Amino acid sequence: MAEKVYRTELTPLSFLSRSAYMFPDKEAVVYGDRRYSYKEFEERVNRLASRLSDAGFQKGDRIAFLCPNTPPMLEGTFAIPAAGLVMVTINTRLSAGEVEYIIEHSKSKMVFVDHELEDLLEGVDESVERIRIDDTGEEGDPYEDYLAEGSAEPGPSVLEDEEEVISVNYTSGTTGRPKGVMYTYRGAYISALGNVIETQMNYETRYLWTLPMFHCNGWTYPWAVTAVAGTHVCLRKVEPGRIWDLFESEEISHYCAAPTVQIPLANHDGKRELDQQVTAVIAGYVPTPTLLNQLLELNVRPIHTYGLTETYGPMTTSAPRKEWEEKDPEEHARLLARQGQGYVTADLVRVVDDDMNDVPLDGETMGEIVMHGNMVMKGYLDNEEETEKSFKGGWYHSGDLAVWHPDGYIEIKDRDKDVIISGGENISGVEVEQVLAEHPNILEAAVTAMPDEHYGERPKAFVTLKQGAETTEQEIIDFVKERIARFKAPAAVEFLDELPKTSTGKVQKYVLREREEESQNGQES
């Protein structure tokens, strides 16, 4: 068949070649003292791709990366697919057993590993080749020497179909074994442009890497920032004080982070109102209106987005409206805390009942969020059964429960399994958590069900306090009762040093539930 003049297969790799062509001398990557121009960034990617191509891998073979947010991780995101291979990013916070499972399940042929994370490969089969990254950027670093053996010239594209798999990202695995989510070239391209549009990035963008690149390929921001020839400011470790310094010294314009990173940032001793406005993209868990207000006061503009590993990261946005700014700060923040609606590059999401019918747009009737379109994964790697289950009825089922507001925006109330049913009433743990966040002494809170003889279940709050702060269980319960329906208030409060979290920063409510059940059973025996 003759080539179609009007069609090119979509690939996010084209963003780098264009930016390097148009802005060769522009600063592409900053990492401490290391600074690479777009020309140098492209050459490093070409060298890695060329070296991988020479290594004898077959098209579609999988290559794993276990690395913090350093330049090699960014380079791998472009170079591995450029060589016709599939990138498998591995969460750096996992145990050695979990890392072993992912490498084995993905059938990865090779793994690039940061020198500080080598211990996590102790159970990995010897047949998997390893390249250590000393993170020096100098000759003698095994990674740098590997690059030096490749050619700086671009190789031929081996992409035949934009629906080929570009990467595999593993879910957090809060319910059983992590699943390998397959991203396509087309989906990555469209998702990256969605992020550019929704967060208003441009040629002046300077993006700080606070979000792990292992998480949904950094929500596709390696490709998005490169699309606008923005500057990637890499960060090996997330430290609030360092982040505040970099905001100013590197003139940061954008960063992304889950609430668990934003909360310590907004409460850090070094926080200050910034001269330039910084856009903060928040996803990963429902942010409280309190947190959003704190950020606004610091000249940090929060954009609340929502999605899952299965949707390339964020897929909906609470796209702020100008008229909201005229409302009182609490109401403004409450509107920003909703999950909103689909990206410009995605289909609108729906909230449905068990029969796949839309729930009324009344802001009260709960249903499940379902998604469709260009920003939904291709499926789970080697797991047709789970893929079919999650695509039931022709839509991806998120497992998140939400209401649909009259203005068309959606708002999450809880995970399906986290809703508290007390005396026949459904209580949203998220709603109670948002009230607890207003308490001046509380840093973080999670609300789960505790067994109750009379009501079946009652809410229980687990809280961490701000440094040096004090309060009592009764004072917190009364605080909630003054603000929402009394039956929604926690029946008990437990103080913790920190909340249990997944490796991507989500609060593990099931751990709190199990602990509660064990303590109840212990009291009964």
| 13 and 85 housed in the same domain | yes
Same-domain status, 414 and 450: no
Residue 174 has pLDDT above 70, yes or no: no
Among 181, 210, 236, give the residue marking a domain's end: 236
Chain segment 238-252, per-residue pLDDT in tens: 999 999 999 999 999
For residues 271 and 294, membership in a common domain is answered with yes
Task: For residue 277, give Cα distances in angstroms to 4, 247, 255, 298.
Answer: 44, 10, 12, 9
Asked whether residue 2 is assigned to any structural domain, the reply reads no
| Residue 251 in domain | yes
Residues 67 and 208 in one domain: yes
Kindly give the pairing relationship between strand 86-89 and strand 62-66.
parallel
Is there a domain that residue 441 lies in? yes
Does the structure show a pLDDT above 90 at 333?
no
Instruction: Report whether pLDDT(454) > 80.
Output: no
When pLDDT is cut at 50, 70 and 90, the band that residue 21 belongs to is very high
Question: Do 129 and 103 share a domain, yes or no?
Answer: yes
Could you read off the pLDDT of 365-411 as tens digits, one per residue? 999 999 999 999 999 999 999 999 999 999 999 999 999 999 999 99
Q: What is d(CA 517, CA 502) in angstroms, rounded to the nearest whole number?
A: 20
pLDDT tier at 126, thresholds 50, 70, 90: very high
Indicate the residue among 393, 418, 443 that finishes a domain. 418
- The better pLDDT of the pair 93, 415 is held by 93
For range 446-471, the mean pLDDT: 88
**Do 254 and 224 fall into the same domain?**
no
* pLDDT of res. 179: 94
Same domain, 225 and 256: no
Residue 514 lies in a domain: yes
- Do 242 and 108 lie in one domain? The reply is no
Provide the pLDDT for residue 453.
75
- Alpha-carbon span 392 to 450, nearest angstrom: 32
The answer on 291 and 229 residing in a single domain is no
Residues sharing a CB contact under 8 Å with residue 336, sequence separation 6 or more, in sequence order: 289, 292, 302, 304, 318, 320, 324
SS3 12: coil
Both 89 and 131 in one domain: the answer is yes
Give the global pTM. Answer: 0.86
Residues 414 and 354 reside in one and the same domain: yes
CATH of residue 314's domain is: 3.40.50.12780
Radius of gyration from C-alpha coordinates of the chain: 23
Same domain, 379 and 487: no
The reply to whether 259 falls in a domain is yes
- 277 within domain boundaries: yes
Contact (CB, 8 A) for 105 and 268: no
Q: Is residue 1 part of a domain?
A: no
Q: Is residue 168 part of a domain?
A: yes
Cβ pair 433, 288 in contact under 8 A: yes
Provide the terminal-to-terminal Cα distance of the chain, rounded to the nearest Å: 75
Structural domain boundaries, residue 344: 238-418
What is the C-alpha separation between 228 and 19, in angstroms, rounded? Answer: 7
Total number of domains in the chain: 3
Q: What is the DSSP letter of 288?
A: P
